[in-house]
Structure 1
Amino acid sequence: MRELTLRSVILGGLLTLLFTAANVYLGLKVGLTFATSIPAAVISMAILRLLRGGTILENNIVQTIASAAGTLSAIIFVLPGLVILGYWQGFPFVTTAAVCATGGILGVMFSVPLRRALVTGSDLPYPEGMAAAEVLRIGSAEGSGAAENQQGLRTIIVTSLASAGISLLIAMKLMVGEIAKYIRVGAGATGAATSLSYALLGVGHLVGLSVGMAMLTGIVITWLGLVPYFSQGVAGDDVVAIANGVFRAKARFIGAGTIGVAAIWTLLKIIGPIISGIRSALAANAARGSGETLPLAERDLPIKQVALVILATMIPIAFLLWQFIAGGPLAVHSGVLIATTVVYILLAGVVIASVCGYMAGLIGASNSPISGVGILAVVGVSLMMLAFIGRGSDVTTTEAMVAYALFATAIVFGIATISNDNLQDLKTGQVVGATPWRQQVALVIGVGFGSLAIPGVLDLLNNAFGFAGAPGAREQALAAPQALLISALAKGVLGGDLEWPLLGLGAVIGVVIIAIDELLGRARKLRLPPLGVGMGVYLPMSLTLLIVVGSVIGTRYDAWAERQPDPETAKRFGVLAATGLIVGESLFGVAFAGIVAATGKDAPLAVVGAGFEPIALWGGLAMFAGLVWWIYRLTRRASR
């Protein structure tokens, strides 16, 4: 049966451009990315059915390539920090692509030995991998399966067009993009805000009610507690400036403390199963080395080749590190820095691949606390630098150390993002009978495609909008929340001016939330994921409130789906509709960035002036809500 074919590679590469651009935009806007396996599988099946002769294994290769590339886009949680610091003015194509490629390839290689232990030899649920396998099996069938696949593709297209259409109206100023209201609270201030964003609504549907309620808890803690408290007595008459200033200067660092504690707790909870999984992987490799004959569906890339690739990848990594510090204040320490960083990447890579692979199997790649891994990685690199070369003697040296910490973390983060996705794809392959080594080759190909796509999209968005916190950032700058947080932590650790009291308060809040979440778990009630609460504290309300709304809408849709004759099919159509909402707005955002960059104007598509704003507000609200109702009504019909 056809599997790793030329056309599957080409189609996977084309889908890579689509989903990588969408994920880069969404990640920089709101700090979240979405799983691309299911929409990639649906699109692939529809296209290969037209070309004739497509097989379920060929479609699996397409979704594997597109999924790996889309997941690699999470590298934007770190790399924009170099622009935010002012160390980079843009994203040099070769360097950025090489960072993505080396980290991604290591992520694939480190996760190869874990397949038997964490996929075939465990009872981890792999929610997204199992869902993608089910989509492939149904869509590859003739008759009703083919009809469902075509209907699913139409759902993605229609919701994408609706989402892009709303974004176009906002760009034309015919609708407002954000609604906000700020008020006085005693001698302080607070406020409420939301974006009219279908992408955020779709994210809410996908993450579910538990994460949505956790984010709502974070919103309440911040805007009904932290901001009013810390703004008491702040001088000034501009209530908007006071509330947002306190949020950026105080609440965000508290949120960082909550996220850090939640990330550490998550890792501690799963360390036992991870150690067990690694032992099983080593035992499986020993059995294969003794001459045991394995069926085709159990053949991984040979472990010796995997080891050689890992060691060979250290050479370009060492060169990238040397090139990054050459001619700068850290050049005198280049030998010790490069040697210790390469060892750190090797050791951290093994642990991170295991952690992220297990987390993806347990709760899904989309829900894994991948940003928490980035936080721990940058702190680890920063402490390593302090141990071997000490604190910077001047501002220039300190800035160079912070930049180097971010650059090294970006490579480690590439390992994390790919290993967070690999085992999910390999689970899909196991269910549909794919050959593991062919999938692993496809994952490497996906990393290559993603590495070529990411630098250009990053540069385009940087030139058009910029990033919040960067020198000369525009009003519509993308939030880049994780990059801003990780760069701030690196600056604090290496510069010695970390806001420890605020981080400590956030850590206390995190401990309390962890205790509440554990009690809810024992009582079998709706959980309150600590990382979700931390994100609710850390992110602006304009980016989180609609995620909460989307989680409620998605939960109500799923409740309706449970009453249908085929609940799983109905739920899948809800996932496809939500994905379309994300893809449509995200791709329009990338296209709009190109228009902004080409024209040099902040609002090149505006057709009305400020006098139209009342109509844009109330009319836009009505249209936004009405279209949401129509989209879900249409999705219900399609699922039947």
Structure 2
Amino acid sequence: MQPYVSSDQNLREFSLRAVLIGLVLAVVLGAANAYLGLKAGMTIAATYPAAVISMALIKLMKGTILEENMGRTVGSIGESVAAGAIFTIPAFVISGIWPKFFSAANYLTSTAIMFVGGTLGIMFVALLRRVMVEDAELPYPESVAAAEIHKAGAKGGGGTKILFTAMGVGAAIQALVQVQLFSSFWQEFVYFKENAFTLIGKGKAALAKGGIYLTAPGISPAYMGVGYIIGPKLGALNFAGGILAWGLMVPLIIYFIAPYAMPAEATKADWFALSAAVWKFIVRPIAIGGMLVGAGYTLFRMRKSLTTGLARSVSDVKKAAAGEGSIDRVNQDLPFTWVLMGIVGAAVATFLITWQVFHLTFMVSVVAALVMVIVGFFFSAISGYLVGIMGSSNNPISGLTLSALVVTAIIMVALGVKGQAGVAAVLGVAAIACVATAVAGEMLQDLKVGYILGGTPWRMQVGDILGVGLAAAVLFLPLMILHEGDIKKVGEAQIVQLEKQNIKSVTYGEQTYTIEQLRQLPADQKKVVMQLDAGFGSPNIPAPQAGLMAMLSKGIVEGKMAWPLIIVGMLMGFAFILMQVRSPMLVSVGMYLPLGTTFAIFLGGCVKGIVDMIAEKRGLNEAQKVRVENTGVLVSAGLIAGEALVGLAFAALTFFEVKYTIFADPARITFLVSLAILVAIGIYLVRLPLAHAGEADEPAPPSANF
């Protein structure tokens, strides 16, 4: 294959402006994906928006296409670091290992985990790149689409305007939600004054009052964008999980326990609390069992690809060590000795983390480091192979991480590791492997783009090391802001309620706190004292994958897993497989997420279905459908990025205790305004892609669907 820029051409590539643009994008897109992943349990591939933004900025500076390639490469790596981080770092809080999230030690530990994992993934990719990128059997669909973006940009294109406009729309709507110009959701509890049902228990009738909790979907351009990207079928599966949780399991469980758990004078707040407790402590563990089976089933369905990937990885290392292949500019990777030094350095860093930070014994720490390298290498190879087939958006990172965690936990238990130190070590090793796996997949995807355009591999690899380093140093901060900002926001709302009820103090344990003392408490202590359902693992920041990792690590190492509920969930997941449900994992994630989130994602999927129906009705040809698809994905990515960045900004305002609420109590009429906004977002997602269908005789670009 002849690259777009031949090997003998010497265009500017590794320039300061390209690297700086990439580093900024790595932080911005990484933070946006951290926000989305913690809230919705999903991330979006950053290659496409990074390509558009880097192309736009560098074209303004009269830069080269290889500089655009460098900016995109460095910019997209932040998303993969974020994916690895959000799947694992919050698990330290959810599992109770870190009672206080923000501390210098926790920051350094998180940064080390992300940097070591990211660097390790890049080192593995340097070994695997030559054979995997040049393999004609691996289509790399997203890489081809990203390369075409750069090529089209060289000839002029309007993708930049579409992306930034959509980002502005998403940002504006989220800002209005945050200042409560209209309510982000509407809820009402319809409480029946008459006895709603009769239960028979212990030989006598027990009467209970019932109710219905009505809620509208949150006004979220990001969630609707996610729904649009995954489409109507997957969006429906995700929402089906929400219906199972809130339409079947929660009401059914409450039906049987309400006569014993609720007093006759129970208030609306009591019913809300009972419903939330049932969902959190009963339904969610069941969902985790389903997620466990779903992840295993995903890997099982890919068993042929995984086996092939493992076999290829061994042969690729042999070829790389032997120095096979050409050494012209477009085939120059990092020197083999540098790669080995990087791998050894990562292993030593893992040893030091498990030995000095998690306080394991010397020999156990050595074994943990070896396990991390072996597991990380094979899963990185598998990740790269799967990306080559399906693209990074469909890469089952959570399933691969889950497998790494289970393997690590079993080995740690076999070595006699117990208690919190064992749980911390398992999570730490799994986190490093997770980041390495995510970075390896994204890096191979970017290297394929570079292979098509004529980029220099070693320069891209060095650029990604810089991107990983900056992302690792910075991404702890948005995690902290989201976690503590949510605690402060929920805590302040509860304090306001206490003041309205004229309650002057709260007692926790043997200590009594005044209202003013509650306000001054650090976030994590405030969460404990006020017993807030906030921060990581709460309805506002569910962090589903991290919750799964926390429960599994504690369950295996400490024997504290709620096995009856987990087994019920596993049986449910197995039933989904027997029913040939397309994605049991997605249904289970829907059960784990708040219903408003899954409904908003479902609405986005419905909008995508409407677009497809209109495209068919208008008789659009394949080329026009591809343009509609690409524009829709670009608009969705813009909505997601816009809301995520504004959401982070307002979380920061809450974190720094800056008052910004304009309307503290929106009127009921705003429910209709909220619905109007949702309809407007839907119309925007329908009209704009269809308006860019183009003429029937225009050639079709590659599909950028991810």
Q: Classify the TM-score, shorter chain.
A: 0.7 to 0.9
Q: Write the distance in 2 (CA, Å) between the matches of 1:482 and 1:492.
A: 15
Which residue, out of 324, 328, 332, partners 2:357?
A: 324
Paired residues for 1:141-290 under 5 Å: 141=155, 146=156, 148=157, 151-180=158-187, 193=215, 194-234=217-257, 235-236=261-262, 237=266, 238-283=270-315, 286-287=318-319, 289=322
What is the Cα deviation at residue 304 of structure 1? 3.7
Q: Which runs of 5+ in 2 are unaligned?
A: 1-10, 200-209, 491-523, 695-706
Partner of 1:90: 101
CA distance in 2, matches of 1:442, 1:540: 38
For the 8 Å contact 2:254–2:278, the answer to whether it is kept is yes
Residue 192 of structure 1 and its aligned partner are, at CA, apart by 5.8
- Is the Cα contact below 8 Å between 1:113 and 1:282 reproduced in 2? no
Aligned-pair distance for 1:166?
1.5
Identify the residue that residue 701 of structure 2 maps to in structure 1.
Answer: none
Cα offset, 1:466, TM superposition: 4.2
Deviation at 1:631, TM superposition (A): 5.2
- Partner of 2:183, secondary structure, is coil
Preserved contact between residue 189 and residue 242 of structure 1 (Cα < 8 Å): no
1:342 pairs with 2:407: no
Q: Which residue matches 1:569?
A: 627
CA distance in 1, matches of 2:430, 2:127: 23
Structure 1 distance, partners of 2:311, 2:684, is 52
Q: Deviations over 1:313-339 (max 9, x none)?
A: 2222222223313xxxxx4x4213311
Instruction: Please state if 1:535 is matched with 2:589.
Output: yes
Give the SS at the match of 2:44: coil
Aligned partner of 2:493 in structure 1 is none
Question: How far does the alpha carbon of each residue in 1:466-490 deviate from its partner, in whole angstroms, 9 at most, with x for none?
Answer: 4999745465752222222211222
Q: Is 1:489 the equivalent of 2:552?
A: yes
Q: Secondary structure at the match of 2:25?
A: helix
Q: In the aligned structure 2, how far is the partner of 1:208 from the partner of 1:581?
A: 16
Structure 2 CA distance, aligned partners of 1:49 and 1:281? 38
SS in 2 for 1:173: coil
1:80 to 90, 95, 98: 90
The one-letter amino acid of 1:384's match is I
How far does residue 84 in structure 1 lie from its aligned partner after superposition?
2.8
Counterpart in 1 of 2:599? Answer: 545
- Indicate which of 66, 78, 81 corresponds to 2:75: 66
Matching of residue 605 in structure 1 with residue 660 in structure 2: yes
Gaps of 5+ in 1: 326-330, 392-397, 518-526
- The reply to whether residue 32 of structure 1 matches residue 32 of structure 2 is no
Per-residue deviation at 1:56?
Answer: 2.2
- 2:17 maps to 1:7: yes
C-alpha distance in 1 between matches for 2:168 and 2:437: 33
Task: Give the Å deviation of 1:42.
Answer: 0.9
Q: Does the Cα contact within 8 Å between 1:155 and 1:638 map onto a contact in 2?
A: no
Residue of structure 2 equivalent to 1:136 = 150
Kindly tell me the number of residue pairs found equivalent between the two proteins: 607
The amino acid that maps onto 1:215 is N
Q: CA RMSD in A?
A: 2.7
Tell me what 1:381 maps to: 408
**Counterpart-to-counterpart distance in 2, 1:107 and 1:218:** 34
Q: Distance in 1 between matches of 2:402 and 2:87?
A: 10
Amino acid aligned to 1:541: L
Q: What letter is aligned with 1:450? A: A
1:453 CA displacement:
2.0
The partner residue of 1:41 within 51, 64, 82 is 51
Mapped partners of 2:116, 2:323: distance in 1: 31
Which of the pair is proportionally richer in helix? 1
The aligned runs of 1:505-524 (5 Å cut-off) are 505-517=568-580
Residue in 1 that maps onto 2:384? 357
Residue 312 of structure 1 pairs with residue 345 of structure 2: yes
CA distance in 2, matches of 1:241, 1:153: 46
Mapped pair 1:436 → 2:457: yes
- Cα distance, 1:156 vs structure 2: 1.8
In the aligned structure 2, how far is the partner of 1:538 from the partner of 1:345? 29
CA pair 183-378 structure 1, distance change in 2 beyond 3 A: farther
Aligned equivalents of 2:440, 2:176: Cα separation in 1: 39
In structure 1, what residue type is equivalent to 2:236? M
1:303 to 331, 336, 345: 336
Give the CA deviation at 1:101: 0.5
Which one-letter code corresponds to 2:326 in the other structure?
T
> Are the counterparts in 1 of residues 629 and 689 from structure 2 also a CA contact under 8 Å?
no
Q: Identity over aligned residues, as a percent?
A: 31
Q: Establish whether residue 555 from structure 1 lines up as the match of residue 609 from structure 2.
A: yes
Pick the structure with greater CA Rg.
2
SS in 2 for 1:607: coil
Cα deviation 1:547-591 (Å, max 9, x = unaligned) = 111122123335555716633233221111101111111101111
2-structure distance, mates of 1:317, 1:437: 25
Q: Which moved more, 1:206-215 or 1:9-18?
A: 206-215
Q: Is 581-590 or 398-407 further displaced after alignment?
A: 398-407
The one-letter code matched in structure 2 to 1:244 is A
Distance of aligned partners of 1:430 and 1:529 in 2 relative to their CA distance in 1, 3 Å threshold: farther
Which range moves more in the overlay, 172-181 or 626-635? 626-635
AA of the residue aligned to 1:615? I
Change (3 A) 1:217 1:463: closer
The alpha carbon displacement at 1:121 in A equals 1.6
The farther-off stretch of 470-479 and 181-190 is 181-190
Shift of 1:280: 3.9
Shift of 1:367: 2.6
> Cα gap change, 1:302/1:390 in structure 2, threshold over 3 Å: closer, same or farther?
closer
Task: State the Cα distance separating 1:12 from its structure 2 match.
Answer: 0.3
Map of 2:135 onto structure 1: 121
Counterpart amino acid of 2:247?
L
How far apart, CA to CA, are the structure 2 residues paired with 1:370 and 1:290? 30
Mapped partners of 1:51, 1:115: distance in 2: 31
Distance 1:465 1:323, change over 3 A: farther
Q: Secondary structure at the match of 1:528?
A: coil
CA contact (8 A) 1:106 1:313 kept: yes
- CA deviations on 1:18-69 (whole Å, 9 max, x unpaired) are 21221111112122111111111111111111111x2222211111111111
Compared with structure 1, are the counterparts of its residues 26 and 293 closer, same or farther at alpha carbon in structure 2 (3 Å cutoff)? Answer: closer
Measure, in 1, the Cα distance between the counterparts of 2:611 and 2:346.
46
Offset at residue 292 of structure 1 (A): 4.9
8 Å CA contact 2:607, 2:682 repeated in 1: no
